[in-house]
Every structure is written in C-alpha cells, then in structure tokens.
Amino acid sequence: MWRRMAMGLAVVTVLAVTAPIASAQDQAVNFSLGYFTLRGEDSRTAGDVLNADRCIDTTFACEPLLFDVNDFNNATVGAEWLVGIGDYFEVSAGISYYQRTVPSIYEFQVNADGSEIEQDLKLRVVPIVATVRFVPTGRQSAFQPYIGAGFGLFNWRYSEVGDFVDTTDFSIFRATYVDSGSKAGAVIVGGARGFISDRYLVGGEVRYQRAEADLSSDFVGDKIDLGGITYQATFGIRF
C-alpha cells in the first residue's frame, strides 16, 4: 500500500513541478529546526531491531539490552525549496538530517569483574522528501495553515558497536555491526506559517513519516523501523 501511495504521489509531484514554473506567483527557501520522535515500542514494525535487542517480539533465546526506544529521539535540521502553483497549492523538495547514538548495557549479564557489558547503538537518517501542499487561506494571506502529503527517500545507517554475549555459551566478544541503505516511504505534513515582513515567514510544522528497511542477518532483528513524527519550527524566505 505504501509503495503504491508513494508512486502515486511521485507522479502528482512531477506533474506539478513540470507545470510552467514561470507562472508561479512566488518561490521560497524554507529552513527548519525540529525534534524527531521514533514510533513507540507498541507500534513498531514486526522484527524491528530496537525491539528485538530488548527481547520484545522475539521467538528465540535472547539476552536483553537495557535502553528505551525514545532514547533515540533527537534534533533535526533541514532545508527545502517551495514553488507556488496558483493561489492555493505548492510543491516542495527538501532534505533533512537526524542522528543519534544511544549507549546500552545488558540487563542481566555483566563482565567477570562485575563491570557492565557496554554497546553503542547509532541511527542516522537523511530524508529527501517531496510534497504537494494545500493552503486553504491562500498563499498570500497573512496567516497560512496548510496540509500536504508526499514521499521520501530515506537514506539510513544503523550500527551496533561494543561487547556482546554469545547466547550459545555466554562468552563475551567484541564486534562491530553496520548496515545502511535507502528506502522509500510516505510523508504527511501539516502546519501553519505567517508573514513577519514582505519576504519572511515563520511557522511550525508536524511531519509524519513511514518507512521500514531490511537489515542483514548480523543483527538480532531483521528490520529497522524508520517511521516517526518530527515537530519543527520553520523560517522561510520568499523570492
């Protein structure tokens, strides 16, 4: 379903962008600073590595790591280009950046000397997103609420580095596990903005993304859920 939605929105976006841009009333560059919150434990996709590492939703022998999914929540920065299509619609293309390293330890196991068995779990996501938006009050009004949808290409990298327990004999070994790739997914946006001068706008936006990627067999889980919600402040420059 998500794949079909992304393809459909891609077609709409391409058609809008290839319309005579010269006839657009204006364009803008938008900058954002926000906070990305991952999907919670109870809504993450089956097989997700962050749940599997904590021995949630697994059917095999497991030694749980001690951390929370919301430990991965962190700041984001981004920029996008917006093009007006008539009075009530606009299209956008942008990029943002998120990264977070979370320390973890085994919940029940320790080293022979009593010290913790430690790891660093690191997730990075760089979404490249295109959207189509509707501004019901018009793109020239002083206050502009908007809603929209689109698709994103989520470039991701996930790693686990540190000491680990072999569940077959409970020996401790050091290892580095890394996987990365790109995955398409759906995006929904909603927000509002207003003019603070003839050219400058400030606002706030909520952005929901949904995507999941396959992980190599090196990890306890076979997927990484990239979905979540970003709450962000925006600053735009019209030209």
- DSSP line for 132-171: EEE-TT-TTSSEEEEEEEEEEEEEEEEEEEEEEE-TTT--
Q: What is the pLDDT of residue 11?
A: 44
Q: What is the pLDDT of residue 59?
A: 63
| CATH code assigned to 2-179+196-238 | 2.40.160
Q: What is the pLDDT of residue 62?
A: 85
pLDDT tens string, the chain, 239 residues long: the values are 445 444 444 444 444 444 444 344 489 999 999 999 999 988 999 999 999 999 987 666 789 999 999 999 999 999 999 999 999 999 999 999 999 999 999 999 999 999 999 999 999 999 999 999 999 999 999 999 999 999 999 999 999 999 999 988 899 999 999 999 999 999 999 999 999 998 999 999 999 999 999 999 999 999 999 999 999 999 999 99
Domain boundaries, the chain: 2-179+196-238
Q: What is the pLDDT of residue 184?
A: 97
Q: What is the pLDDT of residue 61?
A: 72
Q: What is the pLDDT of residue 173?
A: 96
